[in-house]
């Protein structure tokens, strides 16, 4: 099942709660509803199932239903990134961690090609 961050809010206890929409096959959504039991919620406007958590897992991700019937996020990519950063340490590990975090949180930097203006082309022709 895939999840997508919709919003967040502060609970009465002061905790930040992240709300995700849940998408999947009919079978997956049925299993999700069963696993959630009394806690199963559906968005009144979209009809999508909702998943609530106090631990942000990024803009999107995957959910797993464990053998014990618990709904948990698939954090394997986060674990892999942490392992790689720890393995290499130092500046390289820091850079790996930064790049992985940007990718996982959906904010990866996009390097764009420089824009060449007519003036720049003219200047290059003088070289």
Q: Does pLDDT of 98 surpass 90?
A: no
Q: Where are the domains of the chain?
A: 2-74, 75-108
Opening angle at CA 102, ends 55 and 50, nearest 5: 35
pLDDT band with cut points at 50, 70 and 90 for residue 105: confident
Q: Does pLDDT of 20 surpass 60?
A: yes
Q: For residue range 36-76, what is the model confidence (pLDDT) as tens digits?
A: 999 999 999 999 999 999 999 889 999 999 999 999 999 88
């Amino acid at each position: 099942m895939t999840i997508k961050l919709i919003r967040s809010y502060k609970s009465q206890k002061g905790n930040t709660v992240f709300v995700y929409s849940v998408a999947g096959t009919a079978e997956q959504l049925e299993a999700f509803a069963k696993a959630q039991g009394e806690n199963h919620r559906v968005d009144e406007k979209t009809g999508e199932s909702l998943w609530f958590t106090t631990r942000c897992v990024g803009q999107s991700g995957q959910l797993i239903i464990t053998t014990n019937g618990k709904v948990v996020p698939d954090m394997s990519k986060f674990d892999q990134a942490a392992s790689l950063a720890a393995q290499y340490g130092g500046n390289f590990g820091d850079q790996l961690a930064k790049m992985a975090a940007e990718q996982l949180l959906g904010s990866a930097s996009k390097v764009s090609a420089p824009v060449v203006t007519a003036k720049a082309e003219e200047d290059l022709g003088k070289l």
